[in-house]
Structure 1
Amino acid sequence: MKSLTILELEYKDDTSLYFEHFIELPYPYFLDSSAFNGTHSIYKDTFSRYDIITAAPAKHFTAFPGGKLIMEDFVDQTKRQVTTNTPLNYLSESLERMSLIEQSAENSDLPFQGGLVGFWSYELCEQIEPERILPRDNDTPHISVGLYHWALVTDHKKRSASLVFHPDIPEKIKAQVLQSLDTERKAVNPSSFKLLKAFEPTQSRAEYQTAFQAIQDYIAAGDCYEVNLTQRFTTHHTGDTWEAYKKLRTTTLAPYSAYIKRPDMEILSHSPEQFIRLKDGKVSTNPIKGTRPRGLTPESDLAIANELKSSEKDQSENLMIVDLLRNDLGKVCKTGSVSVPRLFALESYANVHHLVSTVNGELDDHHSPVDLLESTFPGGSITGAPKIRSMEIIRELEPVARTIYCGSIGYISCDGTMDTSIAIRTILSKDGELHCWGGGAIIADSDCDSEYEESITKVRNLMNGLEDHFLAR
């Protein structure tokens, strides 16, 4: 086995200052726990401990609708296209070719030691379930994942920062990384980002009501028990979205935040929701189902939180998704290992309270981390139950593609460690437009007006945060 090269750096509470050294390299990723701004989760040690920065992959894979896969090799400076129905296989094969790392006390706490970093769009479901989910016309990647041999890992618990190099890293990429670290941070004009108008919904309220009633009819007919219905909000902008992300991360604290930059788009994610975590063969997922806005006073906030905790409707929604995820994990976990140690726990964030449960399991030795991702994707908390039928209904009723929204962002390390989010509270910047989405679970006793308002509540802080600071007036 080979060893990592680890260089200790100065610890910074605000790791965005480090990211700005690498933001102009190809395919930069900032996996941001938001811990710089204080505690915001009772699970801080687990969810808000690490920030991970990387860029300049050795290879990058972009899968588009229709099975087109673009592979870029940044060592050989080549690009080629292949046609495949199994793009996830390419990710597994690339990861398996990386050299094994000797584990030691020095690297035992490192969450990422080199491997895959990227995002998986919600629309990937049409390639995972091609017989059931009809293709949707859109030009946003289904998969955008790089093979990275280095990362700058900040541990907020230990208050340390480490520049980590995998032994397989090409020398030209290592030199590029070190040079970028020694170069002054990118200068960004704080006034360069502007919204040209306020966010507007893609659907009218009447169209939302029509979709809501269609779901009620499907539930009454026995097609499904729960469907996650979402709507999109859109505006136009100019300038650098990194400045917008930095502003939002000061007000929208979320342990699974991320900033991603591709040549054709940027992603600004402020997600509170973990999708799948894998460490030492142990699997966990933490679905969110049940939401209330924060109160305006401490007394009203407490009353709202208590009402959510005791809501039978929200507990019912949450339990349906817990059962769905138990089934998903059961496909790839050891028999009898799936359990639910936490049910209907309250978590509070800047704009909302959530009910969150935890489902655990132990990955079967015959399955890889990519198998685990594929068997559970997309997350049940943003589809409904039963899962595939709910996705068919979503495809029928939602007029525009979700793209990155309700997909997943994260990493799979070469040592088998994986951590991914569900990309809710997420903004897509593409072709001068900003898109964000909000939604919620529809069950038999849901109220249309309440669900419509909840879909707005979930992203109001994102839209207001940008409009208050950047709307051209």
Structure 2
Amino acid sequence: MLFISMFSFGNTNKNSNIYAQPSLSTIRALLAKSLTSPNPANLVPLCTTVPAELLTPTSIYLKISSKSPSRLSFLFESALTTETIGRFSFVGSAPRLVLKTGPGHGASVDPLPLLEAELRKSRVLDVPGLNLPPLTGGAIGYVGYDCVRYFEPKTAREGMRDVLGVPESLFMVFDTIVAMDHFYQTVRVVTYMRVSPGILEGEGKLEEAYERACGELRRVAEVLREGEIPVPVQPSIERGGEYVSNIGREGYEGHVRRLKEHIKVGDIIQAVPSQRVARPTSLHPFNIYRNLRTVNPSPYLFFVDCEEFQIVGASPELLVKSELGRVITHPIAGTVKRGKTVEQDDALARELLESIKDRAEHVMLVDLARNDVNRVCDPLSTRVDRLMVVQKFSHVQHLVSEVSGVLRPGKTRFDAFRSIFPAGTVSGAPKVRAMELIAELEKEKRGVYAGAVGYFGYGSVDRDGKEEEGAMDTCIALRTMLVKDGVAYLQAGGGIVHDSDPYDEYVETLNKLGANVQCITSAEEKHLQEQEQEQGSAINDVAGKQELAIDKQQEKTHIELAAG
């Protein structure tokens, strides 16, 4: 509070109706100290607030992306449970930079050093009292499952078929983000002003940079204030699309039996094979997302438009997040369907908690998560914050735990990501050997599925040059669809242990695919009904015009006869 009283904190920008924070005088005072430190800031955050009464996350995304010169964009939302929503939703469009890796898209290398090097170029000035949301800029995208071959070279296998043909990783770097705060019902536009060491020396340099940043705030605010919401153009819907599995029931059950043989001889304790299904659809990818967020509200809801393909997801599971040096991961293992009544729902939850198989599998994955966290954290700080809590989602119930720890000196969020990726819930235990066997059985690259989707924010420095690592929040790409060239790809797997039944495990994958299957089917039905209603209205309009023409002709004939 003392600091705020020393400076003019806000500024009403010239020729606009936006109120930008912090003010030019505040920035000048902060930079005077920062630019003389050994580690000066080169980014200054500016923000403005827009009335949120008539805005929703989807309307914000549609408005922002429709006015963008690029299709590259994202929308992140969160429903903490089926009854509650997360505090923030985030939208970004037209990134200043795109980083891709993988054959045909970029270098075939570990993507994390590239990402870390790029983000290290940007140091955000810490502005006391600004109270920004957790994501205001940085890298947003995904690390595909197949990147594990760079983290654990033993898992690499030659000749893996690349059916999807997407980058192994893709990150978009944004300097402007729109954040909706559902708690306070406000929308904040945040952008960054780039500064150099000599910006305070040249006359008018700081003012010009400030005006450019305010111009970006003003541009986005004006787009958000527009009344019209540009709904995606939906092509005609055709019924009858069939799901085709890459291996089918026989293939999946065969994977289960072979993995059980490895378990019997002590080669592994658990492994998580998967199957992928593909289905043609003419649905606009964002219309799939609009329906998914309704039928399957989840802690991680995301739509990422990568231009050539789109990622549509409703993941229940945090992979790893890092806040102020604390690393958190959420192992999920043990699944049962939702009941049709409250009583049946509770009975199924008790059945899940009492299942010896599910409890054993879950405890094993919690131990694996503790080991992964311990690799980069102080072992004395590692703890299990929650153990085997039943969490309810739209179609299934899961056993969920939470493991956390404090990063050791010299370790970063990228080290934590590398240590935990991929989650044991999509690979197995021991993790490396399980992944080797999965690669040998599946013989196809998984792509985005079982990888991670999320963000790595910019790091910050205070006025004295003290650094603070940026936030990281990533989920496992589960309940996730990849839409490319008019085809939706869905994938799901399950944990195989010594007493797994092949058929039951196959059915579990179908249950996990259920929400996304229903999402596509119901979205198509909805738009098909709208399409038929429009066609009916058009036919009625034509018939009405024809009747009007006949009436006019008859009236003309009567007039002519009367005149004769």
Aligned residues: 451
Alignment deviations for residues 381-413 of structure 1 (CA, whole Å, 9 cap, x no partner): 111001111111111112533211111111111
- Determine what percentage of the aligned residue pairs are the same residue: 28
What TM-score does the superposition give when structure 1 sets the normalisation length?
0.89
Instruction: Give yes or no for the alignment of 1:422 onto 2:476.
Output: yes
Query: In structure 2, do the counterparts of structure 1 residues 133 and 41 end up closer, same or farther at CA, with 3 Å as the change threshold?
Result: farther
**CA RMSD across the alignment:** 2.4
CA displacement 1:130-152 (0-9 Å, x = unmatched): 33321523221111101111211
In the alignment, structure 1 residue 227 sits paired with structure 2 residue 271: yes
Q: Between 274-283 and 198-207, report the one with greater CA deviation.
A: 198-207
- TM-score, normalised by the number of residues in structure 2: 0.75
Name which of structure 1's ranges 155-164 and 357-366 shifts more when overlaid on structure 2: 155-164
Equivalences for 1:67-146 in 2 at 5 Å? 69=106, 83=107, 85-108=109-132, 110-135=133-158, 136-138=160-162, 139-146=165-172
Instruction: Name which one, 1 or 2, has greater alpha-carbon Rg.
Output: 2
Residue type of the alignment partner of 1:33: S
Residue 277 and residue 192 in structure 1: after superposition, are their counterparts in 2 closer, same or farther (change >3 A)? farther
Aligned twin of 1:403: 447
Measure how far apart 1:194 and its partner are. Answer: 5.2
- In the alignment, what sits opposite 1:437? 491
Q: Does 1:31 align with 2:76?
A: yes
**Aligned positions of 1:53-68 closer than 5 A:** 53-65=91-103
1:466 and 2:520 correspond? yes
Name the SS for the 2:129 alignment partner. Answer: coil
SS in structure 1 at match of 2:379: coil
From the two aligned structures, give the one with the greater strand fraction: 1
Counterpart position of 2:34: none
SS of residue paired to 1:250: helix
Q: What is the letter of the counterpart of residue 85 of structure 1?
A: V
8 Å CA contact 1:258–1:268 kept in 2: the answer is yes
CA distance in structure 1 between the partners assigned to 2:129 and 2:286 by the alignment: 36
- Mapped partners of 1:455, 1:447: distance in 2: 13
Which stretches in structure 2 are left out of the alignment for 5+ residues? 1-40, 196-208, 460-469, 530-564
Match of 2:316 among 257, 272, 282: 272
Q: How far off is 1:288 after superposition?
A: 0.9
Distance 2:361 2:94 in 1: 42
Shift of 1:178: 5.5
CA deviations 1:251-286 (Å, max 9, x no partner) are 111120100111210111011111111111111111
1:446 to 485, 491, 500: 500
Residue type at the aligned position of 1:64: G
Give the conservation status (yes or no) of the 8 Å contact 2:235–2:282: no
Distance 1:455 1:185 in 2: 37
Alignment of 1:263-302 (within 5 A): 263-302=307-346
**Offset of 1:371 from its aligned partner?**
2.2
SS in 2 for 1:218: helix
Conservation of the 8 A alpha-carbon contact between 1:31 and 1:259? yes
| Inter-CA distance 193–404: structure 2 relative to 1 (3 Å threshold) | farther
1:116–1:411 Cα contact (<8 Å) kept: yes
Taking the aligned partners of 2:365 and 2:127, their CA distance within structure 1 comes to 36
Q: Deviations over 1:84-126 (max 9, x none)?
A: 6333211101111112231433225x11121111111111112
User: Does 2:192 correspond to 1:166?
Assistant: yes
Unaligned runs of 5+ in 1: 70-82
On the 8 A contact 1:252/1:270 being kept in 2, the answer is: yes
- SS at the partner of 1:327? helix
Structure 1 residue ranges, 4+ long, deviating more than 6 angstroms after superposition: none
Question: Structure 2 CA distance, aligned partners of 1:133 and 1:177?
Answer: 45
User: Greater shift after overlay, 8-17 or 272-281?
Assistant: 8-17
Q: Deviations over 1:291-342 (max 9, x none)?
A: 0011122221111011111212111111111111111111211232211111
Write the mapping of 1:179-258 to structure 2, written as runs, cut at 5 A. Answer: 180-181=223-224, 184-189=228-233, 192=236, 197-258=241-302
* Residue 178 (structure 2) pairs with residue 152 (structure 1): yes
Aligned partners of 1:193 and 1:244 also within 8 Å: no
Cα contact 1:196–1:238 (8 A) shared by 2: no
Counterpart CA distance in 1 for 2:252 and 2:509 is: 11
Answer whether contact 1:193 1:241 (CA < 8 A) is retained: no
411-420 or 171-180, which deviates more? 171-180
